[in-house]
Amino acid sequence: MENILIIGAGGQIGTVLCQALQERYGESRVIASDLRVPPNPRGIFVSLDATQVLAIADIVRQYNVTQIYHLAAVLSASGEANPIRTWELNMQTLLNVLEVARTFRISKVFVPSSIAVFGEDAPHVNTPQQAFLDPATVYGISKVAAENWLHYYHTRYGLDIRSLRYPGVVSYQSLPGGGTTDYAVDIFHKAVHGQPFTCFLKEDTRLPMIYMDDAIRATLELMEADAARITVRTSYNLAGLSFTPAELTAAIQVYYPSFQTTYQPDFRQQIAESWPQSIDDTRAAADWDWKPAFDLARMTGEMIHHLSDHSVLA
C-alpha cells in the first residue's frame, strides 16, 4: 500500500494533483502539505516548511510515507525579485526531500522541472530533449541543478526519481503564482467576467503550454510506468500545445466576440523570449507512450465551460 506525501499541495499543480491522487489511492493514503493549511481541506492536510529537513522526516515517519511529490518552488518571474533567496529555497527544499527519500528508502519520488531550463542557445522550435542548458532566470538555474541532482541520486543511491519539464500549465481549478506563463490563466478570468485583459507579453510571443488535465495525466503516467522504460533520469521534455497571446485571444473571442487584449510587455517578455516556442517530446512518447489530448480550441472550450456561467456555451 502506498502512502503519498505531496509537498506544495496548495499550489497550482499541487491542488489538482492532490485530488487526482486521492481518487486513485484513497483519501487516507494522501498526505497533502504546504506552509499553510487551507480552511476546509479534503483529506489529510498538514503544515510543512520544506526548508526544515527534520519536519519532512517527521511526517514521513508518522504517516509511513512511501512516495513523495515535491512541487514547492519559487517560479520564474517572482524568483527574479530575490535571486539568492530563490536559489536557497529551491535548492534547500530539493536537497531535503532527496536526503529524506534516501534515508527512509522512499520507493518513488517526483520532482518537476520546467521549460525554464532552456535558454538562448537551445533551438527555440521543437526544442530537443538534449539541448544546451543556459537558463536566463534563477528559477531555470535551480531547475538545471535540480535535474542533475535527480540524476545523481538515481545513479549513486538507486532512488527511483522521475521528472517532467512542465510547460506553462493552464487550469480553471487553481491559480498560478509568480510564473511567466501565468497570463494564459489570468486572461480567462477576465474574459468570463466581461473585462478586457492587459497582457504582460507581446502578442506574438509563442510559448509551450499544457492543459491541466494533460499535465496531471502525464505525471501519473510517468509515475506508473515500468521503471525499466524510464531512460531519462534528469527530466523528460513534455509538450502539450503552443500558442501566442494573440492566438489565445482569438480562441476566446469565439465565445466572447467583444473580448479585447491590450499588450504592455514588462520584464517577463525577456524571460519568455529566452524560452522555447515548442517542445520535442518524442522521448516521452517512446518511453511511456505520452500523447497530449488538448489543443487550443478544446482547452479554451473547457476553461470557459468551467469558469463561466455557461450562457456563452448555449
Query: Least CB distance from residue 237 to ligand AKB, whole Å?
Result: 13
Q: Which CB sits closer to ligand AKB, 22 or 163?
A: 163
Query: Least CB distance from residue 90 to ligand AKB, whole Å?
Result: 12
Tell me the number of residues near ligand AKB by CB under 6 A.
11
Out of 33, 163, 180, 300, the residue judged to bind ligand AKB by CB under 6 A: 180
Query: Least CB distance from residue 139 to ligand AKB, whole Å?
Result: 6
Out of 14, 179, 240, 276, the residue judged to bind ligand AKB by CB under 6 A: 179
Q: Which CB sits closer to ligand AKB, 26 or 177?
A: 177
x/- letters, 95..114, toward ligand AKB (CB under 6 A) = -------------------x
Contact between 150 and 235 under an 8 Å Cβ cutoff? The reply is yes
Q: Which CB sits closer to ligand AKB, 19 or 180?
A: 180
Query: Least CB distance from residue 296 to ligand AKB, whole Å?
Result: 18
**Which residue's Cβ has the minimum distance to ligand AKB?**
179
157 is catalytic: no
Q: Residue 73 and residue 111: Cα distance in Å, rounded?
A: 10
Out of 4, 59, 75, 89, the residue judged to bind ligand AKB by CB under 6 A: 75
Active-site residue, from 69, 139, 183, 236: 139
Beta strand segments in 94-245, E? 108-110, 113-114, 161-162, 164-166, 168-170, 197-199, 207-211, 236-237, 241-243
Query: Least CB distance from residue 177 to ligand AKB, whole Å?
Result: 9
Contact between 109 and 97 under an 8 Å Cβ cutoff? The reply is yes
Of residues 127-146, which lie at the interface with ligand AKB (CB under 6 A)? 139
Q: Which CB sits closer to ligand AKB, 75 or 251?
A: 75
**What are the residue numbers of the active site?**
139
Q: Which residues of this protein are in contact with ligand AKB, per CB under 6 A? A: 75-76, 114-116, 139, 166, 168, 179-181
